[in-house]
Every structure is written in C-alpha cells, then in structure tokens.
C-alpha cells in the first residue's frame, strides 16, 4: 500500500528509517542532517519535544558508542514508521527500543523513542525487579 506522495512508498519510508540508524553507526552527522527536517522534534521518556538544534547537542553524541542496530521490525504506516530494534554498544552492551518516526516530504519530522530494556533482561525469567 502506498502512502501519500509527500512521504513516499512503504519501501522508501522503511529505507529512510534504516538510513537514520545507519548514520549513528557510521557516526555520519552530515547524513543525519540530510534525513531530518529543519522543524524536527525528538521525544523520549527523558526528553520532551527537543528541537533539531537541541537534539544534535543532546542526542547525537551517543553515536560515539553505538556499534550496531539489529532491526526486529520496521513497519511503515501512512506517514509513520514504527521501528523496533536491538542496539549494541561498542563494548557489547545490548538494549531494545521502539521508535515512531513521522515523515513528511522525505524527511523525518518527529521521532518518539520508547525505551525498552537491557539484554539480557535484568529480571529472572518469570520474575520482576522490585522498585526501590
């Protein structure tokens, strides 16, 4: 199913999303700057609608330790791409997140990050962690 002509086909949206993660792995800020819109905003459990400038100041430095993304799901839907991945740091730490990327005019205009958990999970199978 094709999405609006402002965003592209499902395959184009998925590829745009994948390229944004590859920019982190490659530490290629110029590539990321080409992928996100001037009116880009970033939200996570720790960040509330950061603008593009603040995103690059606060979030982009994380590329230093990002070694790899293994995509579990990349699901385009209209002007959004839902991405679940396992990330790996340069020292082997693994984590799983889901992100929702909103695309307009072949640029990412919004990223919402939903933090997952560390891998392996710190709680035992069938168990849970106590809040302290």
pLDDT computed for residue 117 by the predictor: 80
pLDDT at residue 132, rounded to an integer: 58
Q: What is the pTM of this model?
A: 0.89
Q: What is the pLDDT of residue 8?
A: 76
At 77 the pLDDT is: 96
Mean pLDDT, 10 residues at a time, over the chain (132 residues)?
Answer: 54 97 98 98 95 97 98 97 98 96 97 90 87 64
Q: Which pLDDT value is given to residue 5?
A: 38
Query: Structural domains in the chain?
Result: 10-119 (3.10.450.50)
Question: How confident is the model at residue 7, as a pLDDT?
Answer: 53
- Residue 98 has what pLDDT? 98
Structure token pair of residue 91:
């020292």
Closest CA to 85 of 76, 77, 74, 93: 74
What is the layout of strands, in order, in the sheet containing 66-77? 50-51, 36-43, 107-119, 94-104, 80-89, 66-77
């Amino acid at each position: 199913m094709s999405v609006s002509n402002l965003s592209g086909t499902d395959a184009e949206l998925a590829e745009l999303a994948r390229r944004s993660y590859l920019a982190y792995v490659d530490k290629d800020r110029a590539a990321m700057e080409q992928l996100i819109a001037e009116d880009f905003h970033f939200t996570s459990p720790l960040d509330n609608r950061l603008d593009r400038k603040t995103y690059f100041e606060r979030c982009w430095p994380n590329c230093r330790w990002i070694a790899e993304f293994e995509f579990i799901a990349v699901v385009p839907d209209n002007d959004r791409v839902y991405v679940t991945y396992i990330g790996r740091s340069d020292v082997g730490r693994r984590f799983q997140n889901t992100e929702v990327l909103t695309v307009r005019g072949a640029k990412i205009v919004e990223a919402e990050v939903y933090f997952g958990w560390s891998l392996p999970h710190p709680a035992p199978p069938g168990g849970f962690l106590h809040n302290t």
